[in-house]
Amino acid sequence: MKDYLPRPDLLAGRVILVTGASSGLGRAASLAYARHGATVALLARDAAKLDAVYDEIVAAGGPEPAMFPYDLAAADDRSLETLAGTIAYHLKRLDGVLHSAHQFYSLTPLELQTLEQWQTLMRVNLIAPFALTRACLPLLKESPDASVIFTGETHGHQPAAYWGGYSVAKSGLETLTRIWTDEFSSDEHLRFNTLIPGQVSTTLRSRTHPGLAPETLPSVDDLMPCYLYLMGADSLAVRGQIVECQT
């Protein structure tokens, strides 16, 4: 999959919502989706950083994106339904969602992690992706080919010491993927998968592995063939899978 060569118009005419779009993998995916023809709905907490991504897309000649400054830690059903309604009103359709937003504190033993930290970790990394997907389902079901991608984590797939609540939340996305897939097994036009990026040069990776030199790791752009493949029609038959990007 990392050698996948997407055609230039792979996502032409599609509308794709990307959370965590202001930085890291979410930003890179937003730029890649726009380069391949998609109108991207950019969602993140930091409006200034969203402006920068918006400007990059427009400067590169991509379709004009939409911006949604939104804090997933404060999400509730009403505001998410309003968000989905705004997308429907302004963009008229929704053909994909990339859940790239995340919350992380630090690598610490479970005995030092607090209830408040776990509540935030679960809310942003697991509950919000579920609730946002649920709110967007009416739009996604109207698409002729819709893809929902949850961003997993290596230590959610293979738990390890000190990853705590972050690992538990990310492992939950794999279960969520399989449940959504089972519930929509008869719908050939809507699919759900979890993508595990693996080690990549991001701010998060520098915090969890400070001893790794960034130049020794794949860049976020190196992973974009995986993100494009799972979002485009070439992966129509890939459903309910836990995809490790660098295998």
Which residues does the annotation mark as catalytic? 166
Ordered strands of the 39-44 beta sheet = 66-69, 39-44, 15-19, 96-99, 146-151, 190-196, 242-244
Q: Which residues contact 210 (CB under 8 A, 6 or more apart)?
A: none
Q: Which residues contact 123 (CB under 8 A, 6 or more apart)?
A: 72, 73, 75, 103
What length is written for the chain?
A: 247
The tokens 């930290």 sit on which residue? 117
| Burial 204-241, CB ≥16 within 10 A → b, else e | bbeebeeeeeeeebeebebbbbbbbbbbbeebeeebbb
Q: Which one, of 223, 159, 230, 163, lies nearest residue 194 by Cα?
A: 230
Backbone φ/ψ region at 37: left (φ over 0), alpha (ψ -120 to 50), beta: left
Residue 169 CA to residue 7 CA, distance in Å, equals 34
Say whether 97 sits in a helix, a strand or coil. Answer: strand
Residue type, 214: P
Q: Name the packing angle between helices 115-122 and 164-183 (round to 10°).
A: 30
